[in-house]
Amino acid sequence: MTRVSAWQRVGNGVGLVGVLAIAWFIAETTPTEEAWQGPIVVSGDIGETLTGRNIEAVVSEVRITETVTASNGWAGPTTGVWVVVDASVSAVVDDLGASLGTADLVIDGVTYSASERPDDGTIARQPLTTAIPVSGPLMFEIPREIVETEASQPATIQLAINSDPRADSVLAIEVDLGALPLLPSVDTNEPSWGAL
C-alpha cells in the first residue's frame, strides 16, 4: 500500500467540495425547458399599442358584467360573471395561418381562456391579417367570488398568435378587475376589420 500524506487527503477533500460546488451551480442555473422555450412577453396597459414578433394589439376597454349579448344574438349564461375585453389585433409580418390562438386572462396564477361559445360574436380564434386589425370582443367566464371582493384584483390579459406561444411573443396587458364595476348587462360590437 502506498502511503497517502495528510496534505494529499486534505487536497482531495477540497477538490471534491469544489467539484460538488460547481455541479450545484450548474444544476441551479441551467435554464429549464420552460425558460428557454418560454414566450417572450411584451407588457403594457389598456389603450397602449403593443407589438410583438407577429402580433400587434391594443386593448381599448375591459368591462365586467352579469350577462353579455354578442352581435350574433348569442347570450349564453354563466354561473360566474363575464369579463368583456374589447381589442384590436393584427398580424405584423406574416398572416399565413395566423389567428388569435391565445387569448387568456390570468388572475392570481389561474388561467381563464376567452370563451369560444359566442362563435363568430367573438374575435377569439379569428384569423388575423397583416396590418389590418380585427376588432371586437373577447368574453371570459370567471368565478363570481373574484369580483365580489372590494380589494384590488390584478389580472393579465395575454394575447398571442398561436395556441402554443412557446418561443414567440405574448402581449400582456395589466388590468385591475377590482377597480371595475359589475354591470348588469353588456352588448358587444360585431367583430370587424379596422381599428376600434
Partner 1 sequence: MKVPTRWLVAVLIALFLVASAAFGGLEDADTPPLPQLDVGESFTGAQLRIAVEDAVLIDAFPEAFITPQPGNRLLVIRATVDNVWDKPVTTISRIGAADNVRPRGIDGIEDEPLTVSVISDGSAYPKLQPAVPIELAFVWEVPDGAVSQSDVITVDVLDKTYAAGGLVTYGERFENPFVAAYVEVPVTDVGAGVGVDQESETP
Helix (H) or strand (E) holding 37, with range, is helix 33-37
Residue 106 CB burial class (10 angstroms; 0-12, 13-18, ≥19):
middle
Residue 173: HSE in the Cβ half-sphere, 13 Å Cα cutoff: 29
Q: How far is the CB of 76 from partner 1 (least distance, A)?
A: 4
Residue 45 vs 119, nearer CB to partner 1: 119
User: What backbone phi and psi angles, to 5 degrees, belong to 137?
Assistant: -90, 155
Residue 135 CB burial class (10 angstroms; 0-12, 13-18, ≥19):
buried
Q: How far is the CB of 24 from partner 1 (least distance, A)?
A: 22
Q: CA-CA distance, 97 to 88, in Å (whole number)?
A: 18
Is 75:37 a contact under the CB 8 Å cutoff? no
The binding site for partner 1 (CB under 8 A) comprises 33, 37, 74-80, 109-113, 115-117, 119, 140-143, 145, 164, 166
State the cell numbers at 71.
Answer: 352581435
Q: What is the DSSP string of 50-101?
A: EE-SS-EEEEEEEEEEEEEE-TTS-----SSEEEEEEEEEEBSS--TT-B--
